[in-house]
Amino acid sequence: MSSSVDPQSPSPQLPSGFSPLTPDDPRVIGPFRIVGRVGAGGMGAVFGALDDAGRQVAVKVIHPRHAADAEYRRQFAREADLVRRVDAECAPAFLGADPAAEQPWLATEFVRGQTLKEHVAEDGPLTGAALLSFAAGTAEALAAIHAAGVLHRDIKPGNVMLSAEGPRVLDFGIARAAGDDEAEHAVYGTPGWIAPERLDGAAATPRSDVFAWGGLVVYAATGRAPFGSGEARTLLARSREGTPDLDGVPDELRPLVARALDPDPANRPEAAEVLDAVLDLAGVEPAEAGADQRSRLRALLRASWLGFGTVGRGAGPWIAVIALGAAAVPNAGAVAGAGAAGGLAAGGAAGAAGGAAGAAGGAAGAAGGAAGGAAAGGASAAAATGTIAGMSKATALIVAGATATAVVTGGWIGGRVYAGEPILPFGAAAEETPAPRDGTPVEFRGLTMWLPDGWQAERIEDEFGPLSAPDPRVTEEWLVLYPGGQEGCADVDWMWADTNVPSCEHVRVFGPGGIAFGGPGYGPITAEEDPAPQFIPASEVPGCPEGRSVYTEDDPRHGAEVAETRPVGDQQAAYREVTVPCSQWEDPTDWSSPVNTRYYDQRWWLLPDSEIFILDGYGIEALDGILADAEVRRAERPATQPVRFRNLTFEVPGEWEVVRNEGEFQPLDQAAASDDWLLIATDPGRPCSAAESWNSHHGCPSIMLFGPGGISTGYAMSAVNESRPYHPAAEPYTCDPSYDTSAPEPAESLTPQEAGLADVGDRRAFYRVWYVGCTDAPGDRVSTDGPTVFYEQRYWLLPESQILVVDNHRTEGLAGMLAAGEVTA
């Protein structure tokens, strides 16, 4: 359930790193009362919340536009299967989820503190027993993840929190099941942390995660990435060569770290072996004969993990917007089986949940699906208080027992919490193998239909477009489906625009061409028009189809149209029943007789996202069942997509997310003006936070495009020119957590490291590379506290077009994309 309150009511004080709720944000989600926002991205938002026992929880809520996508809901539940398997000491506990809710949600333990990256930047590297504890804790998390048949694939400093209880591995946003051989369009991960075999096309394995663990320990011990800094291609080459910089890694750890970073995965240890080795190095003796790795790790953390988790995200008072009594306790029906829903996008609920808040949201226990399982650290606290996700353990057990089948059917149960044994077993909830379908499968653009016995299907290639004009033209396939036993369907010369097929009742299935040119006068077919368009691809009213029952304008059937949605598989298609005009000779045997207008009925289904249009001009009864029983596969993203901004067009990868925004830009001593700007998120595993304004942090690898507004205010609220970097504040500001702040301090802040001209289409742009300073301090965006560090920025400035392209992440390939673009006059 969700609830909202008066947006005008005063907001309570927020924990560190939280932002206030918007008027549209829920105030209650399932059994949790919301405290504030932790972060947001393209897929949803992450909230800090409390259960009715006061336990701090991170809850990810899916954006409504994705909640309406049945395929995304299925993915939500499938990926939970990865999360629910894991029972780790050093990953946030999975508490529950509801993929069937109006807005699906996922909850994990909230982890207070800083990421390793934030801690090292502020307080320096880890040393001594703290470093060994960190190495052991992160190895334990990986060992548990791998034992559950899961691969993390994105181990790096921004994805590990330093909590009061120990390190916590976060963000399962790009995790996969071991052995999942489904093809991917790219190698996902972060340059410098990706195992070299993956760069050569090999699938990830547990030892790919161990490679990243080795780099993680180097970073924790030295404050440097294992392969230094620089362009992505440079980092990738160094990792392939197996030449990490281990200076500063303690002597006792160096051999183990070197093995982990070996370019040959066969020479790397398994995570469980790493954990044993580090525990031995730390001198942790078993508390009793036969004590396991977890007991030894707990002993090490109790003795050596001190002084962490007191600052960072989540620190400060937690006050729910709605008081305790207003929060609904879930009933048995609502509490049916979070396990089946588990870790959305393997990127879990917490701030890093699915990467939604990226590193910026990391503290939210971002366990990205939170290593889903039972993380003992904070989880054992839940066992001590006797609550699970706000329910008493007794209630949770009763509910789980009473609704055992709900795991299979898609409800939710409170998540497992480690207490010696899992409190809430997920049951033998393996999905049953679907029964074989009756009929013959026919596939078209991701739509699979099972045709009854005797039905026929023909696949035709045609040119779509106005018959009287040579352009535009689209050549593509379309389908004809018809019941068998019709002599009139034999040897038909099918043409997409010809609806006059004597004595053959049939269905037509079109793609983009039929949608673009199938309407009256070769116009488009859309679901937005009222009345809905008929399928009449002609410049004038066509003849009536032979053999069709037609009627006059005064017939009761005339104008009796239907506009609703009907199922096509698990999708809801726009469904229309329309009255179609046609011309008919008064005497069909005499073409010189008067021509009258008559009408017949037509119905169609439209799936805009899949670009599929299904036409039935005969009222074939079996078609409704065929379509309802069909399957619709989510269309794959195109390899590239165009970005259009002002007079610039260029192609970027299809997996990047392009968001157009409108901002208020106010140069110093001048009036504010509205202008468009673009934010392009370049890492699907780390969605951007919702931008508070054009000059706020976004917490993700990204590119920004500005017009006159951004140019006029991009340097200290005055104009950016070829002699100034993009620095949109009059004071120092804190670093965006997604920046690589390892650039050296420049000798002169207004002297670029590179200065020249670069191609943008057929134009020449000012190209500059700067080392820009920011303060590595927590808290407000504008701050002079903390050390000043530097990140690399490059930009392209087209003064005549008034376009500024800013890249603070050295995005690989961007220069080539811009050079291949087009700038119109």
Q: Which helix (H) or strand (E) holds 119?
A: helix 116-123
CB atoms within 10 A of CB 825: 4
Q: Residue 9: which residues within 8 A CB-CB, separation 6 or more?
A: 321
From residue 280, how far is each of 90, 132, 276 by CA, in Å? 18, 10, 6
* Dist. CA 41–CA 18, nearest whole Å: 15
CA dihedral 154, 155, 156, 158 (to 10 degrees): 80
Q: Cα dihedral sign for 271, 273, 276, 282?
A: negative
Catalytic residues: 154
* Dist. CA 736–CA 689, nearest whole Å: 11
**Is 393 assigned a ligand-binding role in the annotation?**
no
Choose among 190, 189, 192: nearest CA to 228: 192
Q: Residue 178: is it exposed, middle or buried by C-beta count within 10 angstroms (0-12/13-18/19+)? A: middle
* Dist. CA 573–CA 550, nearest whole Å: 27
* Dist. CA 536–CA 565, nearest whole Å: 22
Asked if residue 700 lies in contact with residue 686, where contact means CB atoms within 8 angstroms, the answer is yes
Choose among 186, 220, 212: nearest CA to 201: 186
Give the three-state DSSP class for 516: helix
> Which residue carries 């508070």 as its tokens?
692
Q: 551 is written with which tokens? A: 């009627």
* Dist. CA 161–CA 699, nearest whole Å: 16
Amino acid at 696: S
From residue 257, how far is each of 135, 170, 274, 655, 666 by CA, in Å? 10, 21, 9, 34, 51
Q: 381 is written with which tokens? A: 């606290």
Q: Provide the β-strand partners of residue 580.
A: 600
Choose among 320, 409, 406: nearest CA to 59: 320
- Check residue 122 and report its DSSP letter: H
Long-range contacts formed by 179-188: CB under 8 A, 24+ apart: 179/149, 185/636, 185/637, 185/639, 185/655, 186/653, 186/655, 188/153, 188/154, 188/684, 188/685
Q: Residue 482: which residues within 8 A CB-CB, separation 6 or more?
A: 455, 456, 489, 504, 505, 506, 507
Asked if residue 736 lies in contact with residue 701, where contact means CB atoms within 8 angstroms, the answer is no
Which residues participate in the annotated binding site for ATP? 60
